[in-house]
Amino acid sequence: MEKTAPLIADHPQPPLAEKLRIISFMGGDMGKFKAHDSETHAQAQAVGKAAKAGDGAGVILAFQKLQTSCYDCHREFRKPFVAHFYGAR
């Protein structure tokens, strides 16, 4: 947990060209998309912190919030994103 959480929190950024394509597709929604992203980042850090502190209940709580943050962004953005970049599914 302690080692894995930062992999989510500090995940690598996509290459610039890809980033620009995403930003242009998102347009006015980019702020919201970024907000979801930083929420996930914060929760992943919380998981790492709780794990480091040996706080089992804290890890579970933070992990639950982390999963909720994944879900929140998917619910809002994943469908149009996949349709646009990968063709309708």
Contact in structure between 69 and 43 (CB atoms under 8 Å): yes
For ligand HEC, the binding residue among 5, 40, 47, 63 (CB under 6 A) is 40
With CB under 6 A as the rule, give the number of residues binding ligand HEC: 14
User: From CA 29, how far away is CA 67, in angstroms rounded?
Assistant: 21
Q: Does residue 9 touch ligand HEC according to CB under 6 A?
A: no
Stretch that binds ligand HEC, among 12-20, 45-53, 54-62, 69-77 (CB under 6 A): 69-77
- Measure CA 65 to chain center: 11
Q: Does residue 26 touch ligand HEC according to CB under 6 A?
A: no
